[in-house]
Amino acid sequence: MKNLTFESAIFDSEASAPSAAMRERVWSNLETRIQKRHWLTTLNVWLAGVSLVSLVSLGSFYFTPRIQTEIATADLSHQLTDLDQSFTSDPLWQEVEAL
């Protein structure tokens, strides 16, 4: 066994090489970080999906009644136009207007 001094420990490549335990701890920490990032990425993707579904659902709740109202209004307007045309073409209505 070598008798190491402070100076020899600094310059000795064998003494400055990381030990197997140190390398194992570094790899373990790296694996833990990768697992945490994978978990966080999975969580972020899941939350983004939930947000997208929520926005689509809210959009459909907002726009569906508006679209149905516009269709109903257009249909009612068309029916009133037809009704107005049927009244004005009716001979009895023309007599009433003439009075």
Q: Where are the domains of the chain?
A: 18-98
Pair 58, 65: CB distance under 8 Å:
no
> Pick from 46, 45, 43: which is nearest to 35 by CA?
43
Give the angle 74-77-81 at the CA atoms, nearest 5°. Answer: 140
Band (pLDDT 50/70/90 cuts) for residue 14 is low
Pair 4, 15: CB distance under 8 Å:
yes
Amino acid letter for position 31: E
Assess whether pLDDT exceeds 70 at residue 13.
Answer: no
Q: Report the run of H or E that residue 62 belongs to, with start and end.
A: helix 20-89
Full-prediction pTM beyond 0.85? no
Give 27-48 pLDDT, tens digit per residue.
Answer: 888 888 888 888 888 889 999 9
